[in-house]
Structure 1
Amino acid sequence: MLRWRRDVAERRLIGLSAALALATALFLAWHLRAPVGLILSLRFEKLAALILVGAAVGAATVLFQTAAGNRLITPGIVGFDALFVFLQTSLVLTLGGAGFSQIPVLPKFLIETLCLSLAATALFATLLRRGADDILRTILTGVILGFLLRGLANFAQRILEPSEFAVVQQATIASFGSVDGQLLWIAALALGIALALAWRMAGQLDVAALGRSKALTLGLAYDRTIVLALTLVSVMVAVSTALVGPVTFLGLLSASLAYRATGTHRHAVLVPAAALIGATILVAGQFVFERALGYQSAMSVVVEFAGGLLFLVLVLRKERR
């Protein structure tokens, strides 16, 4: 019976891969005209950003939910998006709109990634000193810090000139059409390593998902596993956020669909499934957004709206139970 369930889950994983391949083919080949080489190069850059961010956010959410023992939360709840908005607002306030636009792309990306990663690592390391069973306090502290940073960012934005405020607005909304090609290789390397490590520790995550007491009984170094998982979450979310901007509810959408699509709790299947679903949502969504909607709305807004609705549905369903 167990082997049959594994076979079904793996076949569904193959189906998710096929869905991503189809969405990729449509995205690249739809209405392809001359000059083919130039158009394909532009589409490849955007496609790479969509796949990297979708895969990273989806996988990171599965790891975060396992560490927290709660499938209703996402890494964004700890304040990644608020810190990113605060950083952009601070830079515009300090340098001005013209100075902000002149910051070299690569140093800006590296600094933002480093700040986001260090902030998350410091939060986890400081609050988990008494053990990984204190994850709830960590999450609540992250939520409070997120509100604080949003408040500071909103205050700073009120004293900006209208033109500078427009620069902040543009910089803080997730955008896949303006990703610099030189950043993709760095992001791909960092996210590839993080995803590979997450998949390698799948067995440990399966045991950790049983809870602290059961995991310790089974001989798992629970605290070490949770800290490592949260470190990988920090890296994946920091890189993806610095690359395109915050996409808070994409992870919740990807992880929830991954659990439902695979019908298993094995992280060896869940992690790649969430990564594939996250990438497929972004690629297919961007395809529909560009072709069907004609750039009439921001795709990230649509994804966030769908993820927010799913969050409300999950919360209400749990309350009824």
Structure 2
Amino acid sequence: MAETALPPLRPALRLWALTGLLAALSLVFLFWHLRGPTGFILSLRATRLAALILVGAATGMATVLFQTVAANRLLTPGIVGIDALFIFLQTALVATLGGLGYALLPEFGRFLAETALLTLAAAALFGLLLRRGAGDVTRMILTGVILGVLLRGLAELSQRMLDPSEFAVVQQAMFASFGSVPSGALWMAAVVLVGAAAIAMVLSPALDVAALGRPTARGLGLAHDRLAIAALMLVAAMVAVSTALVGPVTFLGLIAAALGRVLAGTYRHAVLLPAAGLSGAAILVAGQFVFERLLGLHSTLAVLVEFFGGLLFLALVLNRRSA
């Protein structure tokens, strides 16, 4: 008697399963070994959990949008120099104001200024890349890498002239941290990121057509260039807000997008975008829980995400080259 294969899960069921997994991880994160003043501890954990979910979801969705517009799955928005600009900005602030002056800056005002600057820089860079040919992957990667190297070089030059105490302040800002997220900035980031995600979901049918390639999409009547500009502006907003909120996590989006594509089981952006967002959020929540609660570590998560993201990038490059 021939065996019958089980039918594959429908995309909607896959999204519900991912949502249930994220909900379970969130409950464990909130209530694991809850002792002492429960109200105060829950408030701190809830703020940290919200930052993890927002940054993970926004980074995953932004990477899918960027890859769709660029027509290449090897790219991530962080590779075009936004993280390097953030590090250069932190270094310039410490060099200008000193360690004490930097610490006395209002967190909410600094968040607004950094978000505005990163958004404008990302929008200008993406617009330049699109105008000169968004399909030219080599030029896009080289432009981003060169800008990133330039900004990191300027930042390192400035860091060499800092006092050891001031350099320690800059070094702490160079890695993503979810330990101290200002509540006011978190609410504003939530509004921007949720709004950008909602707009991306509205554009998902057009993104399905854009994924066929610019000539095919234009032949089907899609205003591809206008859609690409709109998608890149959403990417700029998501990446800028996420980076200004917690710091740079360059390769998280690459991991979330790759995992989302596997779990979604479809090329439809209405499923792929939330799958990548849920995957990114689950990665951060699970990783932060393991390193913070089980292992008692605090700064290892960002480094580990960058390590595995870099390995995944190399694997994708080698796989593309061998194919």
Matches within 5 A, 1:59-208: 59-129=61-131, 132-133=134-135, 137-208=139-210
Distance 2:140 2:298 in 1: 39
Q: Is there any run of 5+ residues in structure 1 with no aligned partner, and where?
A: none
Aligned residues: 317
* 2:93 alignment partner AA: L
* 1:160 alignment partner AA: L
Q: Flag the 1:141–1:108 CA change in 2: closer, same or farther, 3 A.
A: same
Runs of 4+ deviating beyond 6 Å: none
* 2:125 alignment partner AA: L
Distance 2:133 2:311 in 1: 34
Distance 1:280 1:130 in 2: 36
* Alignment counterpart, residue 300 of structure 1, candidates 299, 302, 312: 302
* 2:178 alignment partner AA: F
Displacement after TM superposition at 1:130 (Å): 5.7
Distance 1:319 1:57 in 2: 26
**Which TM-score applies when normalising by structure 2?**
0.94
Tell me which residue corresponds to 1:261: 263
**Pairing 1:291–2:298 present:** no
Tell me which residue corresponds to 2:243: 241
**Pairing 1:9–2:4 present:** no
Displacement after TM superposition at 1:172 (Å): 1.7
SS at match of 1:248: coil
Percentage identity across paired residues of the two chains = 63
Q: CA RMSD in A?
A: 1.5
**Which TM-score applies when normalising by structure 1?**
0.95
Displacement after TM superposition at 1:235 (Å): 0.2
Q: Is the 8 A contact 2:72 2:137 kept in 1?
A: no
Distance 2:275 2:28 in 1: 21
* Alignment counterpart, residue 216 of structure 1, candidates 202, 215, 218: 218
* 2:74 alignment partner AA: L
* Residues 7-16 or 32-41, more deviating: 7-16
Displacement after TM superposition at 1:140 (Å): 3.1
Q: Flag the 1:130–1:72 CA change in 2: closer, same or farther, 3 A.
A: closer
Distance 1:48 1:172 in 2: 21
Distance 2:126 2:56 in 1: 24
SS at match of 1:233: helix
Q: Is the 8 A contact 2:70 2:134 kept in 1?
A: no
